[in-house]
């Protein structure tokens, strides 16, 4: 009897989960085609940003190959901002290493991804005193995101990560494995290296052309709640190793990437990799698949319209 009941409740749970997943997919498509993204596209079409040459190049490279890479100083001619970012990095690294030396109980990590220690994680208040928030909400970056996505985007997530070195014999887990991000297909992430990153430090890796619209888009194609983690062997069978791009580079390397394409990284076996990251997505993502990681604690009414939109 008990066994039957258990079987029955398992089946109910399975059906409920399947229905819930179907509802989430339907909500995403509805928001993408009809509701929030449509409005966002209209807002963008009404007030298109004027991009300079550097911004235009980023947008056209991400469109063509799924990524663009450049020194931070090419996009931001602002030495003070870079100094503030380095000071933020130094404080974070010092606090993290002190915590780790004390046993590591109080570091901010997410379950299943304990190798990434986060400055913020979720549910934090951030303001313009945070230099990475300042950079990511500036029109230098936001206009790139909006022009690539061809709509007013949402700034969904930002953080600074400290990737803890792993034994070389460890298995790759979570985002160390090839995957497409679940967040959205209208997606632009940026990664800013805050230390030099070589081959052993878990550089970000990407399959150019695997972004929606690219030549590898159909390999485990992106779909809301889709199959986005093939095994490493399966992926390597379909996509030759020579097609993979590994982003080694000095500190201040800035990578823009549509991570609805295949990517992985953070498997350092030597020194900690420290980077800042941000995610811009479409409103449909926040309506169905994701949640914003932070709350803007400043005055919304003092922001211009696209920035207010991105933060709310």
Ligand X SMILES: O=C(O)CCC(=O)C(=O)O
Q: Which residues bind ligand X (CB under 6 A)?
A: 175, 181, 189, 204, 259, 263-266
- E strand or H helix at 283: helix 283-288
99-102 contact pairs (CB < 8 A, 24+): 100/164
**Complex with ligand X: residue 51 or 144, whichever CB lies closer:** 144
**Complex with ligand X: residue 82 or 262, whichever CB lies closer:** 262
Minimum CB separation of residue 50 from ligand X in Å reads 30
Phi and psi, residue 263, nearest 5°:
-155, 165
Q: Which of 255, 154, 261, 162 lies closest to 208 in space, CA to CA?
A: 261
Minimum CB separation of residue 7 from ligand X in Å reads 37
**Complex with ligand X: residue 163 or 306, whichever CB lies closer:** 163
Minimum CB separation of residue 84 from ligand X in Å reads 23
Minimum CB separation of residue 173 from ligand X in Å reads 12
Minimum CB separation of residue 259 from ligand X in Å reads 5
> In this chain, which residue has its C-beta nearest to ligand X?
265
Residues with Cβ within 8 Å of 249's Cβ and at least 6 positions away in sequence, in order, are 69, 193, 196, 197, 203
- At residue 234, the 3 state secondary structure works out as helix
Place of tokens 């972004």: 211
**Complex with ligand X: residue 44 or 222, whichever CB lies closer:** 222
Are 152 and 309 contacting, i.e. CB atoms less than 8 angstroms apart? yes
**Complex with ligand X: residue 51 or 210, whichever CB lies closer:** 210
């Amino acid at each position: 009897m008990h066994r039957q009941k258990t079987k029955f409740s398992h089946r109910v749970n399975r059906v409920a989960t399947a229905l819930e997943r179907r509802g989430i997919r339907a909500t995403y498509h509805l928001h993408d085609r009809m509701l929030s993204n449509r409005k966002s596209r209209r807002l963008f079409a009404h007030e298109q940003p004027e991009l300079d040459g550097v911004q235009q190049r980023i947008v056209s490279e991400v469109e063509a190959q799924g990524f663009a890479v450049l020194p931070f100083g090419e996009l931001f001619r602002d030495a003070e901002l870079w100094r503030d970012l380095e000071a933020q990095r130094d404080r974070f690294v010092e606090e993290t290493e002190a915590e780790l030396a004390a046993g590591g109980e109080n570091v901010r990590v997410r379950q299943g991804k304990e190798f990434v220690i986060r400055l913020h994680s979720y549910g934090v208040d951030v303001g313009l005193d945070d230099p990475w928030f300042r950079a990511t909400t500036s029109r230098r970056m936001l206009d790139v995101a909006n022009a690539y996505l061809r709509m007013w985007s949402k700034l969904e997530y930002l953080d600074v990560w400290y990737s803890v070195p792993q034994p070389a014999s460890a298995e790759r887990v979570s985002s160390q494995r090839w995957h497409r991000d679940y967040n959205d297909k209208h997606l632009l992430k940026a990664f800013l290296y805050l230390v030099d990153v070589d081959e052993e430090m878990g550089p970000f890796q990407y399959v150019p052309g695997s972004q929606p619209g690219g030549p590898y888009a159909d390999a485990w194609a992106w779909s809301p709640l889709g199959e986005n983690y093939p095994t490493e062997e399966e992926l390597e069978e379909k996509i030759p190793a020579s097609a993979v791009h590994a982003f080694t580079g000095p500190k201040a390397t800035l990578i823009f990437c549509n991570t609805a394409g295949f990517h992985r990284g953070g498997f350092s076996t030597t020194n900690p990799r420290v980077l800042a990251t941000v995610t811009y997505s479409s409103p449909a993502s926040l309506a169905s698949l994701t949640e914003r990681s932070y709350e803007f604690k400043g005055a919304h009414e003092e922001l211009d319209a696209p920035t207010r939109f991105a933060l709310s």
